[in-house]
Amino acid sequence: MKRKVGIIIGSLAKKSLNRRLAGALQKVAPEELEFVEIPIRDLPLYSYDYDADFPQVACDFKKAIADVDAVIFVTPEYNRSIPGALKNAIDWASRPYGQNAFARKPSTVIGTSPGAIGTAVAQQHLRSILGFCNSPQMNSPEAYIQYRDGLIDDEGDITVDGTKKFLSNYMAEFRDFINRVLTVLPRQSK
């Protein structure tokens, strides 16, 4: 069964290591997974003043989340947390109260950084936020990828066999997790 997965990349940088990782994950994913990026770049800063009349960009963002079966968050770590743009996007998607786009939406969190622990601390913060948003999360395997030059080439291929095998398994596990969650919590008809 095909599953449509939304990719939310936490970095706004065009040459982000995490954007590169997101591309590589798509290449090693099982063929049952189809991907679409859900961009966060154009969202204004969230304020509850918008709750009565969301701007179109925020409505489009929430619809993009509604249109996928699951979400993969690919995030860098900024100051031991997630980037502000990613938190802002989650705030838009979870508001107004009672209209949370992440509720019952299977998700997973991954990221890369040159640091020795990858994006471990940012991922833990993100998991806490997603837990509050009632998004079922794949908790194992966890993936804290230390980025080294050449790990992913310009074509998006993973050049280290052990990392490629690990990430292929990670994506297969995510496919299985999506199927388990949607068996128990089927998508609601629109």
- Report if residue 118 sits inside a domain: yes
- Number of domains making up the chain: 1
pLDDT < 70 positions in the chain: 189-190
Radius of gyration of the chain from Cα atoms?
A: 16
Q: Is residue 189 part of a domain?
A: no
Q: At what angle do helices 84-93 and 56-66 cross, to 10 degrees?
A: 80
| pLDDT at 190 (0 to 100) | 55
Question: Quick one: pLDDT at residue 187?
Answer: 84
For residue 113, what is the domain's CATH number?
Answer: 3.40.50.360
In tens, the pLDDT along 81-102 reads: 999 999 999 999 999 999 999 9
Greatest alpha-carbon span in the chain: 51
pLDDT of residue 188: 73
Backbone φ and ψ for 89, nearest 5 degrees, come out as -65, -40
pLDDT of residue 189: 63
Domain that holds residue 71: 3-184
